[in-house]
Amino acid sequence: MAASHTIPALFFEQARACPDQPMCWAKRAGCYQPLTRGEMRGAVEALAAALLHRGLAAGERVLVLSENRPEWGIADVAIQSVGAWTVPVYPTLTTAEIGKIAGDCEPAGAVVSTVEELEKLRAIRSSVSSLRWIVVVEPAGTALASGEAAWLDALSEGQRLLPELRGVLNSRLEQLRPADVATLIYTSGTTGEPKGVMLSHGNFLSNAAACLKDIPIGAEDVHLSFLPLSHVFERMAGWYLMMMAGASVAYAESLDTVTHDMIAVRPTVMLGVPRFFEKLYARVQEGLAGAPPLKRRLAAWAMRIGRRTVPYRLNRQAMPWILQLQYRIAHRLVFQKLAARLGGRLRFFVSGSAPLSKEIGEFFYAAGIIILEGYGLTETSPVIAVNRPDALRFGTVGLPLDGVEVRLADDGELLTRGPHVMQGYYRRPDETRAVMADGWLRTGDIARIDAEGFISITDRKKDLIKTAGGKFVAPQKLENLFVTDPYVAQAFVYGDREPYCIALIVPNLARLSAYAREQGIAAPSDLEALVCVPELKTFLWGRIQALQRELPSFEQVKGIALLAREFSQAGGELTPTMKAKRTLIAAHYQDRIQQLYAETAAHGGSSPRASS
């Protein structure tokens, strides 16, 4: 890798080569408007000059507290262009959580999107003496205090000062090296206190280049971005990789508008997390359940045909001509309509951040929608392995990337080594040494590697449940199984040091209510009361039993409790990428869990039941 091969160098090379090509799309005045690479370059240079004017030194840290938008990327590259480190912060974090991050990294400044985020920093500014300035993208007429500036004012200031600061900016850019830290990303904290992961320009760019060797993305592609840029998955694959490929990125208005934005943007590639695909799967199932009988029968026939084509498509083998004809008819009558709801141009999704249900991946593939599941960590920039369009195996996270080494420790933990591995945890040498040995990073995940090199992640090492009988159970395996049922929205399996496992089940409440009406069951409109109806609890328990029937007895849950609300970020139970904070969920529902254990014990422990 050349000494100049850094993220800003890549950005400016792209901008000079294709100044009129759209780089980003954002919804303004009700429709998506492009920002060209040339326009982005002008904004990056102007903001970089404004940061230099504020005395930002190489190696200093700058918070970026914003939802996804073009200004996020502009700020990111501008900060790195002067040799400073971007510190992304989820806008969903509380003031106290932001205070912990700021106290650890001691930022020199911050870029925030709205007045709401500005107020969070104002609340902690007196205790963060390093914080000298704040730039606000949308000040909305708010009176700004000393050290605070509106985004447009900062850009105007930078444009005015750029001629005299051009030499300094060029010097900073020339001094950047691939090994220099580009960002400090704080882990989500599902298993403990967040730690700042130091990732270099070389970490990110090596990972993006390795992905592009096997994932076909080019200048004609359009990516719809809705996962938070503060997360390493969207940051690398949805920003730097797209930059390297010459593709453009459109930003969804919000999580709630993604399905509408897909129709407007018509993306060709997208990144997602399992919870997104679970909800998409549930919507498809709900649509079919409410369809007329003839349409349901047609959809069932199409899915049977789709599933019959899977072995041929996976192995790139010619199909029998009659199956080809049937599949074309199924596509025309059924699958094409589903594709249209996704914009009509989507070539594939890439799924990351958590394990994807094998059944959901197979379902969409049979319907002609490809989900490429991958795997990685913040500490690995992030991708370690990914399925490819021409090398896809459901239930696995694919093959390791080029240049990425993997092996299993004696206890089954996956280890990895290569240019993707972090520089270390910020100011935590002991914790860095605890996960690193001879260049190998301990991932904390238990895995299997088959004869062809495909990796299967069984669970987080810290999440593995060890029952009182000494048996190990992987909770995510069960949870992914349970959410394939259309009546189950979310599942949480518990059982560490207990005689057996139980599960907290969040039903698909709309579908459960509809079932009650169809069966003539008196179902209250109050959700808390709905999940207590004995007939509905029995119905759901029967479906859970059917799903786990083929599992060994020690893996099966012996009882379920129904919850009336979903686990959420607002409730503190999910990370911004929808991963369960297992310790917090267990603590939050400890009374319900203990009640369920008491009820199952009263039935001898071997006579499972459902509770509310």
Q: CA 137, CA 147: separation in Å to the nearest integer?
A: 14
Q: Among the three residues 460, 482, 515, which one is the final residue of a domain in this structure? A: 460
**How many Cα neighbours within 13 Å face the side chain of 492?**
26
Q: Among the three residues 437, 460, 483, which one is the final residue of a domain in this structure? A: 460
**Tokens read off for 373:** 């599941």
**Tokens read off for 123:** 């609340």
Pairing between strand 348-351 and 371-376?
parallel
Q: CA 505, CA 458: separation in Å to the nearest integer?
A: 21
**Statement to judge: residues 396 and 523 lie in one domain:** no
**Statement to judge: residues 408 and 494 lie in one domain:** no
Q: CA 340, CA 565: separation in Å to the nearest integer?
A: 31
E strand map for 202-360: 222-225, 248-251, 269-272, 348-351
pLDDT the model gives residue 440: 96
The CATH code of the domain that includes 68 is 3.40.50.980
Q: Is residue 525 part of a domain?
A: yes
Q: CA 531, CA 611: separation in Å to the nearest integer?
A: 9
The CATH code of the domain that includes 538 is 3.30.300.30
- Per the rule left: phi > 0, alpha: psi between -120 and 50, beta: everything else, 381 is left
**Statement to judge: residues 36 and 168 lie in one domain:** yes
Q: CA 598, CA 565: separation in Å to the nearest integer?
A: 23
Query: Residue 497: is it exposed, middle or buried by C-beta count within 10 angstroms (0-12/13-18/19+)?
Result: exposed
**Statement to judge: residues 35 and 155 lie in one domain:** yes
Residue in the structure block whose two tokens are 């005015």: 160
The 10 Å Cβ neighbour count of residue 59 is: 11
**Statement to judge: residues 329 and 357 lie in one domain:** yes
Q: Is residue 451 part of a domain?
A: yes
Mean pLDDT for each 10-residue chunk of the chain (612 residues)? 73 95 92 96 98 97 97 98 97 91 96 96 95 96 93 97 97 96 83 83 97 96 96 96 97 91 96 91 86 92 96 93 96 94 96 88 96 96 96 95 96 95 96 92 94 90 77 83 89 88 90 86 80 89 91 88 87 79 88 88 56 56
Nearest one of 22, 71, 68, 27 to 46, comparing CA atoms: 71
Q: Among the three residues 147, 177, 207, which one is the final residue of a domain in this structure? A: 177
**Statement to judge: residues 483 and 417 lie in one domain:** no
- C-beta separation of 114 from 138 below 8 A: yes
Residue in the structure block whose two tokens are 């599949």: 327
**Statement to judge: residues 398 and 421 lie in one domain:** yes
**Statement to judge: residues 392 and 530 lie in one domain:** no
**Statement to judge: residues 298 and 403 lie in one domain:** yes
**How many Cα neighbours within 13 Å face the side chain of 71?**
19
Where in the sequence is the domain holding 85, given as residue range(s)?
7-177
The CATH code of the domain that includes 416 is 3.40.50.12780
Domains identified in the chain, total number: 3
Residue 339 identity: A
Q: Could you give the residue ranges of the DSSP H alpha helices within 22-109?
A: 37-53, 70-81, 95-105
